[in-house]
Chains A and B, each alone.
Chain A
């Protein structure tokens, strides 16, 4: 069964450093999403992406964040200058219909020290 994959599974970085989290969505899906879950809190929407453009973004997704689909298979989330409060589990998801039936990857745990 096709699945969403994410790398790395765990990333440790120092405050102020840039990180890139990578995702490979399900191959025939056209809609892509990033969510995050801070420890002990709810899963929160960050951004959705379709046709090489951001479709929707939350208040969390400020200028420090960017997304890109650099080739036909990868979907990335970049955080330019990480803060301690960026420490969270980041989930990528994809779907073949806008917003509906989003399939999630296993997540990348980001630890900012």
Chain B
């Protein structure tokens, strides 16, 4: 069935790059998304990638997609303390529903 998995925690030093990883099982996924959740806030859409792309860059964010391995990653360059949050990947295939991962808690320390 459909499943999306992420590691639970990531800790990085301010100024370093962060790489958050995600694996999914549905090879038919059309779009893959990254959302950010700060404490007390909703899910903020950060970026997405269409399944026929390998990479997408948006300012400090780079999304890499390996369809063969069903692996998605989000790289945050020059990580700042304001990037501390929970990051969710989600997949969608020709339906309305997003299937979310467990979320990765990113902690940035000075």
A binds B: yes
| Cα(A58)–Cα(B1), bound, Å | 14
B101 nearest CB neighbor, chain A only: A42
Contacts of B99 in A (CB 8 A): 45
Task: Mark interface residues in B87-101 (1 if CB within 8 Å of A CB, else 0).
Answer: 010101011111111
Q: Let me know if A4 is at the binding interface, CB within 8 A.
A: yes
Contacts of A75 in B (CB 8 A): none
| Cα(A104)–Cα(B98), bound, Å | 12
**CB contact list, A75-98 vs B, under 8 A:** 91, 93, 98
Instruction: Pick the most buried of B41, B48, B100, B102: most chain A CB atoms within 10 A of its CB.
Output: B100
Contacts of A99 in B (CB 8 A): 92, 94-98
The minimal Cβ–Cβ distance linking B53 to chain A, given in whole angstroms, is 15
B50 nearest CB neighbor, chain A only: A100
Decide: A101 near B97, CB < 8 A? Known: A42-B102, A43-B88, A106-B40.
no
Q: Indicate if the CB atoms of A48 and B96 lie closer than 8 Å.
A: yes
Q: Let me know if B45 is at the binding interface, CB within 8 A.
A: yes
Q: Which of A55, A91, A105, A106 contacts B96 (CB 8 A)?
A: A55
| Cα(A91)–Cα(B99), bound, Å | 14
Q: Indicate if the CB atoms of B97 and A91 lie closer than 8 Å.
A: no
A45 nearest CB neighbor, chain B only: B97
A5 nearest CB neighbor, chain B only: B42
Q: Indicate if the CB atoms of A4 and B92 lie closer than 8 Å.
A: no
Contacts of B96 in A (CB 8 A): 31, 33, 45, 48, 55-56, 98-99
